[in-house]
Amino acid sequence: MVAQRKRPRRQFAPKPAHNRAILIESGRATTPEQLEHMNEDDQPRFREVISSSESATSSDDKEDETTQKRVKMVHESPLSVPKWSNPDPYTVLPPPGTQTAAKKDIVQLIRKAKMEAASKEQGNNAVTTNQDFISFDTGEKVQEVIDVPEENLSECEAPIVLDDMESSDEEDLPSPKVKVTSTKHEKRPSIKCPLTEEWTPKGGNPTPWYTGETADVTDPGARLHMEICDFYEYVRPHHYEETAREGLIRRVRDAIRHSSVEGSHNAEVKSFGSFAAGLYLPTADMDLVALSAEYRHAGCRMLCQSSTSMRKVANQLKMQRVALSGVTVIAKAKVPILKFKDSVTGIRVDVSFENSSGIHANETFLEWKRLYPTMPILVVLIKQMLAMRGLNEVFTGGVGGFTVTCLVVSLLQLMPAVQSGNMDPRMHLSDVLLEFLELYGVKFDIRCVGIRFDPPGYYNKLESPDHPPGQNPGRLSIIDPNNRFNDISGGSRRINDVLNCFREAVMTLRDRLHKIAVGEADRGSILGCIFGGDYSSYQAQRDRSYRLHQGNYVTPHTAPPSIIGKRRYIGPPRQGR
Tell whether 452 is covered by a domain.
yes
**Do 471 and 489 fall into the same domain?**
yes
Tell whether 79 is covered by a domain.
no
**Do 430 and 449 fall into the same domain?**
yes
**Do 232 and 249 fall into the same domain?**
no
Assess contact for 252 and 349: CB atoms under 8 A.
yes
Tell whether 243 is covered by a domain.
yes
pLDDT class of 114 with cuts at 50, 70, 90: confident
Of 314, 340, 359, the residue at which a domain comes to its end is: 359
**Do 370 and 515 fall into the same domain?**
yes
Q: For position 533, what pLDDT does the model report?
A: 97
pLDDT class of 516 with cuts at 50, 70, 90: very high
CB-count exposure of residue 244 (10 Å: 0-12, 13-18, 19+): buried
Distances (CA, A) of 218 to 104, 225, 230, 518, 523: 78, 12, 18, 10, 11
Q: For position 77, what pLDDT does the model report?
A: 53
Mean pLDDT, the chain, integer:
77
**Do 211 and 317 fall into the same domain?**
no
For residue 470, what is the domain's CATH number? 1.10.1410.10
**Do 334 and 227 fall into the same domain?**
no
Q: For position 320, what pLDDT does the model report?
A: 93
Assess contact for 543 and 576: CB atoms under 8 A.
yes
Reported as a single tens digit per residue, the pLDDT across 435-471 is 999 999 999 999 999 999 989 999 998 887 556 777 7
Strongest mean pLDDT among 69-83, 162-176, 528-542 = 528-542
Res. 25: pLDDT tops 90: no
Res. 316: pLDDT tops 90: yes
Domains: count for the chain: 2
Reported as a single tens digit per residue, the pLDDT across 230-244 is 999 999 999 999 999
Tell whether 364 is covered by a domain.
yes
Q: For residue 521, give the DSSP letter.
A: S
Tell whether 442 is covered by a domain.
yes
Mean pLDDT confidence for 295-311 = 94
- With b meaning 16 or more CB within 10 Å and e meaning fewer, what string describes 430-458? bbbbbbbbbbbbebbbbbbbbbbbeebbb
For residue 292, what is the domain's CATH number? 3.30.460.10
Assess contact for 494 and 198: CB atoms under 8 A.
no
Q: For position 436, what pLDDT does the model report?
A: 98
Of 301, 329, 359, the residue at which a domain comes to its end is: 359
Tell whether 564 is covered by a domain.
no
- Element spanning 286, H or E: strand 286-291
Instruction: Give me the amino acid identity at 198.
Output: E
**Do 415 and 516 fall into the same domain?**
yes
Tell whether 344 is covered by a domain.
yes
Instruction: Give me the amino acid identity at 318.
Output: K
Q: For position 38, what pLDDT does the model report?
A: 59
**Do 323 and 278 fall into the same domain?**
yes
Q: For residue 427, give the DSSP letter.
A: G
Cα–Cα distance, 211 to 525 (Å, whole number): 9
Reported as a single tens digit per residue, the pLDDT across 372-408 is 999 999 999 999 999 999 999 988 999 999 999 999 9
**Do 510 and 398 fall into the same domain?**
yes
**Do 224 and 266 fall into the same domain?**
no
Tell whether 65 is covered by a domain.
no
**Do 345 and 366 fall into the same domain?**
no
The whole domain housing 260 covers: 239-359
**Do 250 and 190 fall into the same domain?**
no
